Chain A
């Protein structure tokens, strides 16, 4: 046989073998992608950002190793308060390792908490710009977290963290529509609570978020009643929310004081818990009937007027039902 014939035959055989194995490989790729075991293609943009050596290693199948390196770099940027660089680096990191929850959490935290606080307190920006920068950072953190959830749907940690961010009293004012925000928080907590690794308080927090959405009190009440069944759920906050929602649903028949006693046990306990709840007014938790109950309890317990809880936290308009 001529010298070039054998290599040619090998080449043709390789083509044939390739045709034979391709369906199997494609099938396996599909299965692995479905099981979340195979990452997608790295976009060219990311390859640009990670440099040549990084691209070589990443393409050589060790993306998570490159991500580890970039994580260290992000840490350095963080210590130097270079927030844009932190954000950019985390963008690259999550492209390389999208299933590592830790990176999504940390990246979001850096923007929503560290960067925003920096802009507000430590930067040299003029006051008007500070607020805008603070807001931008919080929104960036939220967007990053939501992207993480899209990449890892159903992950309890990320969803819970989103819920936490959206219901955080200090970050609230960054989000325009309060109702929509709390609704989103409730949904996030719901996903977290529905997952297998859910922690007990996820469901309660779902309730708290839902209870703050105007017009969803009925739904919240149903959830509250369900949660109230189990005695392990009866935390002070839950008890108060349950109380308020029940009163809201049936304002007339319920005698707030009596009802409160049935929930809290003793007048003293009722007063302590409800007054602690009352002072958290800024969180927009439902307070239907709380004021009435407190007044009744103050009378019953003979609390002097100057020590009343309403001294420092007076009743505002619309809260006096």
Chain B
């Protein structure tokens, strides 16, 4: 008896990457089509674009306008930080509960889709959206910054020439202004913003596998975010074990907090870059490595919990 022919539909096994890509693009489209995303994005664009106009300044004539550039960078990166963290947390927090509530999760898991593919796909969808948004905001910021820098540069050069400054001083002023304008380190700062948001998204994923409520996941994630900044202090408390008067309980709690929660203090490099410091590429690489470590760990931990979850 000849075996029943396997239909072409069934013969294709599919791959992990393929499935993850499908779920990721799907999550991306789902989030983009949510109206709240449009509002947030428009708001961010307005805030960054508004830097095109003047803010009250009180600088002396020689440094007229350099502080504007600082301001622009501050505002834009601040907006990017806020948007990326909020969006990473909230978007991840709502994806899983939404699927469970709509029962679409059943239809997906009833297909030969391993649970890790599902989690990884959802997370990557969120990260893709955060990345695209940050890239757009970065382009906008760089354009505004570039235009402003040119304006200030031409104004200052004119002033310096009209006052007959010697060439060395003019060159120094020019270098000063340009160093505050857009540069590669600033892009590195934006990448650091993205890394931070990625860590928060993967952490929110982990929390959402425990909790069933979007609200609970979001709030807990925000709390962890802030504690993550304090935790560097907690670590110092532990390491300075010679401090008299700190009970063993306090030290243990500090140790636990600093081990378990992510250390966001490292990302304060963003501030330094805004002030004009240059960030070497290798540091950025190390930061990326640490970010990747967190993300992978949290995804694996999420899988561990999610694998056993019953629906």
Direct contact of A and B (CB under 8 A): yes
Asked if residues A65 and B75 are in contact (CB atoms below 8 Å), the reply is yes
Residue of chain A at shortest CB distance from B167: A200
Query: Does any Cβ of B come within 8 Å of A241's Cβ?
Result: no
A18/B258 contact (C-beta < 8 A), A35-B280, A39-B271, A64-B275 known: yes
Starting from the known contacts A15-B259, A31-B283, A64-B74, 20 additional A-B residue pairs (CB-CB under 8 Å) come to: A14-B301, A15-B260, A28-B286, A29-B265, A32-B283, A35-B283, A36-B272, A38-B265, A61-B81, A62-B78, A62-B270, A64-B271, A65-B75, A65-B78, A99-B276, A99-B277, A106-B58, A199-B168, A199-B172, A200-B168
- Give min CB distance, B71 to chain A, whole Å: 5
- Give the number of residues in A that approach B within 8 Å (Cβ atoms): 53
Q: Which of B169, B230, B276, B287 contacts A28 (CB 8 A)?
A: B287
Asked if residues B287 and A68 are in contact (CB atoms below 8 Å), the reply is no
- Per the 8 Å Cβ criterion, residues 1-21 of A in contact with B are 1, 6-7, 9-11, 13-15, 17-19, 21
Query: Does any Cβ of A come within 8 Å of B226's Cβ?
Result: yes
Query: Does any Cβ of A come within 8 Å of B157's Cβ?
Result: no
CB-based A-B contact count at 8 angstroms:
150
Asked if residues A10 and B301 are in contact (CB atoms below 8 Å), the reply is yes
Asked if residues A39 and B272 are in contact (CB atoms below 8 Å), the reply is yes
Query: Does any Cβ of B come within 8 Å of A22's Cβ?
Result: yes
Asked if residues B286 and A65 are in contact (CB atoms below 8 Å), the reply is no
15 sample A-B contacts, Cβ–Cβ < 8 Å, listed by A number: A1-B308, A10-B301, A18-B259, A21-B290, A24-B289, A25-B266, A28-B287, A31-B286, A35-B277, A37-B273, A41-B232, A64-B274, A72-B55, A100-B70, A199-B172
A14/B286 contact (C-beta < 8 A), A9-B304, A38-B272, A64-B271 known: no
Asked if residues B269 and A38 are in contact (CB atoms below 8 Å), the reply is yes
- Give the number of residues in B that approach A within 8 Å (Cβ atoms): 66
Q: Which of B81, B172, B275, B277 contacts A62 (CB 8 A)?
A: B81
Query: Does any Cβ of A come within 8 Å of B235's Cβ?
Result: yes
* Cα-based distance from A7 to B66 in the complex (angstroms): 52
Asked if residues A19 and B301 are in contact (CB atoms below 8 Å), the reply is no
Asked if residues B272 and A22 are in contact (CB atoms below 8 Å), the reply is no
Query: Does any Cβ of A come within 8 Å of B264's Cβ?
Result: yes
Q: Which of A26, A32, A75, A200 contacts B58 (CB 8 A)?
A: A75
Asked if residues B260 and A38 are in contact (CB atoms below 8 Å), the reply is no
Asked if residues B230 and A59 are in contact (CB atoms below 8 Å), the reply is yes
* Cα-based distance from A109 to B71 in the complex (angstroms): 20
Residue of chain B at shortest CB distance from A9: B304
A97/B169 contact (C-beta < 8 A), A19-B259, A35-B280 known: no
Residue of chain B at shortest CB distance from A67: B74
What are the nearest 9 A-B pairs in CB distance?
A: A18-B259, A65-B78, A75-B58, A37-B272, A99-B275, A65-B74, A14-B260, A10-B301, A37-B269
| Chain A 175-195 interface 0/1 with B at a Cβ cutoff of 8 Å (1 = within) | 000000000000000000000
Residue of chain B at shortest CB distance from A109: B60
- Give min CB distance, B205 to chain A, whole Å: 12
- Give min CB distance, B219 to chain A, whole Å: 15
| Chain A 78-100 interface 0/1 with B at a Cβ cutoff of 8 Å (1 = within) | 11000000000000000001011
